[in-house]
Amino acid sequence: MASTYFEPPGPRVLAHRGFAVDAPENTLLAFEKAVAIGVQYIETDVHVSRDETAVVAHDPSLQRVAGRDITVAQLAMAELGRVDLGRGQGFCSLEEALDAFPETRFNIDVKVERAVEPVVSAVKRTGAESRVLLTSFSERRRLRLASLVPGVATSAGSAGVIRARVAAFAGPQARLVRALRGAGALQIPERSGGVRLVTARFVAAVQRAGSEVHVWTVNDRADMTRLLDLGIDGLVTDRADLAFEVISARS
């Protein structure tokens, strides 16, 4: 199934863990709040439960979000659904989220290797192959996901980003295309380790090679404007409302 994730052209607003300034992060309510303000792209994260279900969660532990010293992997999905995350919300499965928002595109960061097959199963069972982007900081995991869901959109892992940056400044465009290894996007911070990753030259090189540049996590209006001026394709943000205002003011 051909991916439609990158259609039409950006700039794209990717709601980081849903609209988490108005609901507990990575919950169905956070996703509902995002969709209600016009979000088409939700950035989210997946771990795996004790019973091999793909669970929407950023952290391996429940400590930060629920004050419990236990991990997602130690609980079954039914137990995770009963965890109090606030506002009447518990953890949801990836399949629940994809089913609940059938018109929404999901950017899914697969946090652990054990989650790969549950994520693939959830995507296929819901027929969501064309509207998801699968990614991981592990480039090996990203390539495995791409092999299991033919045609799915992906963004490069950390090693892929490094290869792309070197190739963009050290050779012909064909070298950058090879470095991207089919990744439709680079999703990167503006800076890493004191090095500025996002420059107009780098963005243009990636785009000429047929991929997009999305920057995380951008919550300041002035930063959004400056990055859009550099030509980026997407903003990963906790403040989708502000991002829409910034983009609207430019049109």
**Residue tagged 């010293």 (tokens):** 69
CA distance 103 to 38: 12
What would the DSSP string read from start to end of 129-176? GGGEEEE-S-HHHHHHHHHHSTT-EEE--HHHHHHHHHHHHSS-HHHH
pLDDT for 170 equals: 87
Residue 113 has pLDDT above 80, yes or no: yes
pLDDT for 101 equals: 99
Q: Of 17, 58, 131, 142, which residue is the catalytic one?
A: 58
Judge whether 4 lies within some domain.
no
47 part of the active site: no
Task: Answer positive or negative: Cα dihedral of 215, 216, 219, 220.
Answer: negative
pLDDT for 1 equals: 74
Residue 219: pLDDT band (50, 70, 90) is very high
16 part of the active site: yes
Query: What integer is the mean pLDDT of 63-68?
Result: 99
Judge whether 236 lies within some domain.
yes
Judge whether 117 lies within some domain.
yes
* Structural domains of the chain, count: 1
Query: What integer is the mean pLDDT of 178-204?
Result: 97
CA distance 140 to 169: 24
CA distance 213 to 242: 19
Judge whether 1 lies within some domain.
no
CB 69 within 8 A of CB 61: yes
Q: What stretches of the chain adopt beta strand conformation (E)?
A: 12-16, 41-48, 54-56, 105-110, 132-135, 153-155, 185-189, 191-192, 195-196, 212-216, 234-237
Amino acid in position 132: V
Structural domain harbouring 221: 12-250
**Residue tagged 């629920």 (tokens):** 66
Residue 7: pLDDT band (50, 70, 90) is very high
Q: Of 12, 16, 142, 165, which residue is the catalytic one?
A: 16
Judge whether 228 lies within some domain.
yes
Task: Answer positive or negative: Cα dihedral of 55, 56, 60, 63.
Answer: negative
Fill in the DSSP letter of residue 114.
G
For 164-173, what is each residue's pLDDT tens digit?
999 999 878 9
Judge whether 5 lies within some domain.
no
State what percent of residues in the chain have pLDDT above 70.
100
CA distance 168 to 188: 15
Judge whether 2 lies within some domain.
no
Query: What integer is the mean pLDDT of 100-118?
Result: 99
Judge whether 30 lies within some domain.
yes
Among 112-116, 125-129, 156-160, 172-176, where is mean pLDDT lowest? 172-176
CATH code of residue 213: 3.20.20.190
State what percent of residues in the chain have pLDDT above 90.
97
Residue 4: pLDDT band (50, 70, 90) is very high
pLDDT for 171 equals: 79
Q: Give the Cβ contact number of residue 137 at 10 Å.
A: 15
